[in-house]
Amino acid sequence: MGSFELAGVSKSFRTGPPALTDISFRYEGAGAVGYLGPNGAGKTTTLKLLVGLLRPSAGHAYVNGVDPMVDRKQALWDVGALIETPEPYPTLNVLEALDAVGRARGLNRDDIDREVDRCHALLDLPPLGQRVGWLSKGQLQRVALASALMGNPSVLLLDEPTSGLDPAERVLVRRTLNQLKRDHLVFMSSHQMFEVSEVCDQLVFLDHGRVLLRDRVDRVAGRIRSREVDVEFDRRVDPAAMSGVRAVAADLSALSERRWRISFDGSDATRVRLLAACQSVAPVVQFANTSLLLEEAYLELIPRPAEDS
């Protein structure tokens, strides 16, 4: 099973504040680790350090126990990486681009063909004879992801893997990642909270180059008490009929004739009373938090720019 580790890693560039400050964490085995943080938090920098595209200013990065700065070939031997927007040579076709990766990773001809078929089935790749230069952004991203999977490496380092994909492609990639994490170690940065909550088991929150929180996804979500729910009735409801709900809620607003948004103190007791009050008005079709718990956790941990100042 694969592993990756950052041991006291800091990274500074010539200008600007440090991109990363004394980052330390290690994961090994199988599963998916989400890497969350605002733009400029240092997520891509971290991934680049792990594959040796950047050199740490202090500390060491290890993949499968090997520092890529010491032995790049050995460190990356069992690693598939998708950083930023990888672009194979535009003159080559999809098959040639994947073939290059397979050869670099020590696959024989038969295994390359099988791996290309597997990636084709998993990611619905564009026609293999199509030139890379003619691919759409989404197609290119899927080819890049396929290149990370070629040779079945045990560690996958993915920088916003669904960036540039349409909804159907996102579903496809999420499904693929959910399969992969059963026996691979996936480390993925993302801005898509739904994607992270769907795929990841562990989370690392990063801001201004520092780790704010590391924990299991369910624990992080468990810390958050949503203070807002949307309720949908099976029929039109007059505002006057909502007086019983209003008595329990902190605030109430109509989203449509059947849908209402209710703010409350976030406690389970109030939530139970609210649901009962709603059900006494009319049959309830849906009663759900307005946003993902993970998203609320993110917003709670990482101040928005206006609050930041």
Burial class (CB in 10 A: 0-12, 13-18, 19+), 182: exposed
Minimum gap (Å) between residue 174 Cβ and another protein: 14
Q: Which is nearer to another protein, 158 or 278 (CB)?
A: 158
Minimum gap (Å) between residue 187 Cβ and another protein: 13
Q: Which is nearer to another protein, 33 or 248 (CB)?
A: 33
Minimum gap (Å) between residue 59 Cβ and another protein: 16
Q: Which is nearer to another protein, 100 or 212 (CB)?
A: 100
Rounded to whole angstroms, the Cα distance separating 185 from 86 reads 21
Work out the number of other CB atoms within 10 angstroms of the CB of residue 19: 22
Rounded to whole angstroms, the Cα distance separating 230 from 75 reads 49
| Residues 47, 204 contacting (CB under 8 angstroms) | no
Minimum gap (Å) between residue 120 Cβ and another protein: 9
Minimum gap (Å) between residue 97 Cβ and another protein: 8
Residue recorded with tokens 């997520």: 43
Q: Which is nearer to another protein, 113 or 232 (CB)?
A: 113
Rounded to whole angstroms, the Cα distance separating 102 from 117 reads 12
Tell me, what amino acid is at 293?
L
Task: Pick the closest to residue 283 from 258, 247, 250 (CA basis).
Answer: 258
**Which stretches of the chain bind another protein, using CB under 8 A?**
13, 48, 51-55, 72-77, 79, 81-89, 91-92, 96-97, 100-101, 103-108, 111, 114-115, 117-118, 121-122, 144, 147, 151-152, 179-184
Q: Which is nearer to another protein, 198 or 296 (CB)?
A: 198
